[in-house]
Amino acid sequence: MIDHPDRPYRPRRLRATPAMRRLVSETRLHPADLVLPMFVREGAAEPVPISSMPGVVQHSTDSLRRAIAGAAEAGIGGVMLFGVPEHKDAIGSGATDPDGILNVATRIAVAEAGDALVVQTDLCLDEFTDHGHCGVLDARGYVDNDATNLRYRDMAIAQAEAGSQLLGLSGMMDGQVAEVRSALDGAGFTNTPILGYAAKYASAFYGPFREAVQSSLEGDRRTYQLDPANRREGLREIDLDVAEGADVVMVKPAMSYLDVLADAAASSPVPVWAYQVSGEYAMIEAAAAHGWIDRRRAVEESVLGIRRAGADAVLTYWAVELAGWIR
């Protein structure tokens, strides 16, 4: 645009006051667009703080009830539950046990939340295996894709029976969405939706999460999670998950993959969510604790940036606090 010599264009006119900036804002945050990840620890008598994630805890079943009530009161969209079992084995037996911690926590959360929240569950084996991988290992120690999908099928039915209202498939096995959809439909859970963690990258920013779920992982997950260098591959994975029946797709992590998120939002026929992961949370909290950044502004800006890039909803550990600021 060429300015008229006598009437120079001044974009600052629309930034002059808080009311004007609010009126012309292109992206807005709403509590309903936020999902709170929550950890529930088997055998815990009280909440257990996570040192690398200040303000986040491993809940006991009692504190989970209180936290679910608080989340519902805050008006956020939902919660994503992760289980922290006392015992692990090679195939993650606790994941399919109706009395395993995640399925117990799901029943508690559903009863407490009523219609106020969408109770979601992480469908992955990494919290439950003694080797810490997201699937079953073969004789060479390699994650067996198809054997793992059989475990996911059973896990999906167990979670649906516990009342989960959205299954978060985060394991990054090829064909996992199709397998789980088939299992759910075959068991009569045709109305249980699937969130496919379609573009989940092998990221360094998951570090604090390892403490949160007491991970047993040695090595890495680069043979099944996406290479951080690859943008187009993220879209290919999203397309595959949609074709297999995913009702929602995920980009994870969020802040370092905003290009992938924007690509997905521009092309996906289903809602696109993003997960602001533990390392993103920890970095802002650590910098704020040292007085290097304004904590509230940084939190708001980080989530706003994820929404601006195209996320229809954001999983964030600040969901309840941020909802309070918004309201």
pLDDT in tens, 191-248: 999 999 999 999 999 988 888 888 888 778 999 999 999 999 999 999 999 999 999 9
Half-sphere exposure at residue 208, Cβ-oriented, CA atoms within 13 angstroms: 24
Q: Per the structure, how many domains does the chain have?
A: 1
Residue 19 lies in a domain: no
Residue 235 lies inside a defined structural domain of this protein: yes
The phi, psi pair for 174, rounded to 5°, reads -65, 130
Which residues neighbour 303 within 8 Å (Cβ) at sequence distance 6 or greater?
Answer: 29, 34, 276, 314, 316, 318, 322
In our burial notation (b when 16+ CB lie closer than 10 A, e otherwise), range 194-208 reads bbbbbbbbebebbeb
d(CA 320, CA 67): 10
Q: Does residue 254 lie in a domain region?
A: yes
| Position 9 in a domain | no
What pLDDT does 206 receive?
93
Q: Catalytic site residue 88?
A: no
Residue 218: what pLDDT? Answer: 79
Which of the residues 157, 252, 258, 264 is marked catalytic? 252
pLDDT of the residue at 274 = 98
Query: What pLDDT shows up at residue 216?
Result: 83
Query: Does 111 map to a domain?
Result: yes
CATH number at residue 218: 3.20.20.70
As beta bridge partners, residue 34 has 314
| Residue 5: exposure state from Cβ atoms within 10 A (0-12, 13-18, ≥19) | exposed
Other Cβ atoms closer than 10 A to 306: 29
Which parts of the chain register pLDDT below 50? none
Domain limits at 282?
Answer: 28-326
Check residue 2 and give its pLDDT: 58
DSSP H helices, the chain, are 18-23, 61-74, 101-113, 145-162, 176-186, 207-212, 232-244, 258-267, 278-289, 295-308, 319-326
pTM of the model: 0.95
Collect all residues with Cβ–Cβ distance below 8 Å to 296 and sequence separation of at least 6: 325
8 within a domain of the structure (yes/no):
no
Pair 84, 40: CB distance under 8 Å: yes
Q: Look at residue 15 and tell me if it is in a domain.
A: no
Q: Classify residue 23: in a domain, yes or no.
A: no
Please report where in the chains the tokens 């257990």 appear, as a residue. 48
Is the CB of residue 251 less than 8 Å from the CB of residue 261? yes
| 88, 153, 181, 200: the active-site residue | 200
pLDDT at 1: 53
pLDDT at 3: 57
